[in-house]
Structure 1
């Protein structure tokens, strides 16, 4: 179905049959706890089965479902799915093989990630990677939208919007792929109408199922990700961004990307109000790399860019990216890439021609 923006907003706020079922059950338990079990015994079992509804009171054992990609996507051509989170659905902890992007369209939602509770507000975009135990609860008229993405598609679409040599991309990869517990990233976008409009556009495109819809969705998703980074890269919360000084790892990495030519560990630590030893540990835990590795990678990536896009000499590039010694620059470059800067430039231009 093809919806206008106004029709789409009405669609989101409308209570369908399943939401009404959950809402009635929620208030029955809240207002009449003594008779709630009998109420559940009288529910339509065929409706529950046909609609795959979750009624904890009728289950005889705890339920911790795990969903594989094939269970959700089946034989679908596309790799991206959109769904409104049913309001008043009973809380249940679950995990899955795919990525989930939980978008708070309006109001608030309660979520737990690896047992840690979070309250999400309008404009919050929460990225939950595979194999992460979590739950989501919406118990009022708030609207939460789920974007579900195959793991391989997430990597090829989202991270396509970032160059692999970007320190921020390395931070994301570390949080989303290397940590084993408590993984998440939250963009706090607030009332940014640009982000909200893009979310609406994606969901409307998904519902329309028009020709080349999945190609459109992949492209819009890349743009959505790029917008989050352009406008809110300093509004990110994760398991690694919070500390007592209030600084975030994204702020630190952005600072290093701008001051890599001259930044030292001690000066950067002082700039953010840390002792050198604590800052060194913070960097390692937050990115999986040491301070010197991050600076080296930024310098070399900038050198590669200069080799590709300019005719500057090796000595000029050496000075441009902050190396004091041309010999040190040449030695580090060859050790990292297996070729000299001149060989790198020649190879790149041969591939382009």
Structure 2
């Protein structure tokens, strides 16, 4: 049976038995740190083991676990799991082989990703890719929850929303998959009720376990991703989004997608206030591609769409996407896809 929104909000704000344990532990350490070790030694060990609770003072040495997909998803067909982040949980660094989406529902949460600390606020959506060392701490009445997504599902459901925007897709892929220090993506959605409602719907659907819930969750996750891109594409923060001039790389990529037919490197650099050499370096470091490679990919993507969805001739498509000559267009297309535009059209018609 599905929860109502009121029931869900009561659930997300109320303290579970485990959270109450952690809060008592935290307050005891703050109140009397000198006797805290003795206090921990007298805790109910059976309760701690049964509830899989983390008490650093009862462990020998540091604890930095690696979490595998099978540990969480086990033998289920589920691709998506949601759970509330317990408040007052002792902070510990960990990694896992699935994606984690940390959603701050109300208040603030501190997270450290690859040694870089961030304070997240209400409406912040933080995407942490696999094999990234991170930790989360909430030590007040703030609330946050996690969406865990299998790695393969993240690629197939999230990135399909980006097929029409290859350069932005490359930017996401660079941040999330390449081994740059401190990988993360944060969408700052603030008090956007559309995003908040979608998150509530996702969690309510997950808790309801109704018929076809698996299919619903996959579809809702795609919709959630599309909404973030539609309404907050320019509210993205990552290790690569800002440079000394304050320009967002996503803004630059959006500009290229709007002016790809005629844009040049020097004109774009000038538009955003860079020297040509600095702008070239910024683009390469942020996307993993050169300026010309990005423009080529955008043009060819648009050409492929025209070949699939229209009956325009090759010269007309060449002019549409901004190639100076049909011959150049034909050579570039065949070199990239291993077939001529005509062969591509026939293959996709079939």
Match of 2:117, SS state, is strand
* C-alpha contact (below 8 Å) 1:101/1:125 kept by paired residues: yes
Q: After superposition, what is the alpha-carbon deviation per residue over 1:67-94, rounded to whole angstroms, capped at 9, x for unaligned?
A: 0111111112211110000000000000
TM-score in terms of structure 2 length: 0.98
- Structure 1 residues 57-72: aligned runs within 5 Å: 57-72=57-72
User: 1:137 maps to which residue?
Assistant: 137
1:14 CA displacement? 0.4
Q: 1:256 and 1:161 mapped to 2: Cα distance?
A: 19
Q: After superposition, what is the alpha-carbon deviation per residue over 1:114-166, rounded to whole angstroms, capped at 9, x for unaligned?
A: 00000000000000010000000011111111001111111111112221762
Asked whether 1:323 is paired with 2:323, we answer: yes
User: 2:212 maps to which residue?
Assistant: 212
- Structure 1 residues 141-180: aligned runs within 5 Å: 141-163=141-163, 166-180=166-180
User: 1:229 maps to which residue?
Assistant: 229
Query: 287-296 vs 172-181, which deviates more?
Result: 172-181
TM-score in terms of structure 1 length: 0.97
1:261 CA displacement? 0.8
- Structure 1 residues 1-353: aligned runs within 5 Å: 1-163=1-163, 166-349=166-349, 351=350
* C-alpha contact (below 8 Å) 1:164/1:170 kept by paired residues: no
Q: 2:97 and 2:262 mapped to 1: Cα distance?
A: 43
Q: 2:202 and 2:346 mapped to 1: Cα distance?
A: 42
Match of 2:183, SS state, is coil
1:181 CA displacement? 3.2
Match of 2:241, SS state, is coil
Q: After superposition, what is the alpha-carbon deviation per residue over 1:310-350, rounded to whole angstroms, capped at 9, x for unaligned?
A: 2222112111111112211111111111222222222222x
Change (3 A) 1:164 1:288: farther
Q: 2:40 and 2:267 mapped to 1: Cα distance?
A: 64
Root-mean-square deviation (CA, aligned residues, Å) is 1.1
Query: 86-95 vs 301-310, which deviates more?
Result: 301-310
Q: 2:345 and 2:211 mapped to 1: Cα distance?
A: 42
Q: 1:228 and 1:319 mapped to 2: Cα distance?
A: 33
Q: After superposition, what is the alpha-carbon deviation per residue over 1:28-67, rounded to whole angstroms, capped at 9, x for unaligned?
A: 1112111111111111111111101111111110110000
Q: After superposition, what is the alpha-carbon deviation per residue over 1:286-307, rounded to whole angstroms, capped at 9, x for unaligned?
A: 1111000000110111111111
Unaligned runs of 5+ in 2: none
Number of aligned residue pairs: 350
Q: 1:50 and 1:224 mapped to 2: Cα distance?
A: 35
Query: 304-313 vs 125-134, which deviates more?
Result: 304-313
Runs of 4 or more above 4 Å deviation: none
* C-alpha contact (below 8 Å) 2:166/2:298 kept by paired residues: yes
Q: 2:163 and 2:343 mapped to 1: Cα distance?
A: 22
* C-alpha contact (below 8 Å) 1:109/1:142 kept by paired residues: yes
Change (3 A) 1:244 1:180: closer
* C-alpha contact (below 8 Å) 2:164/2:301 kept by paired residues: no
* C-alpha contact (below 8 Å) 1:157/1:221 kept by paired residues: yes
* C-alpha contact (below 8 Å) 1:303/1:321 kept by paired residues: yes
* C-alpha contact (below 8 Å) 2:168/2:250 kept by paired residues: yes
Match of 1:82, SS state, is strand
1:179 CA displacement? 2.4
Q: 2:83 and 2:103 mapped to 1: Cα distance?
A: 11
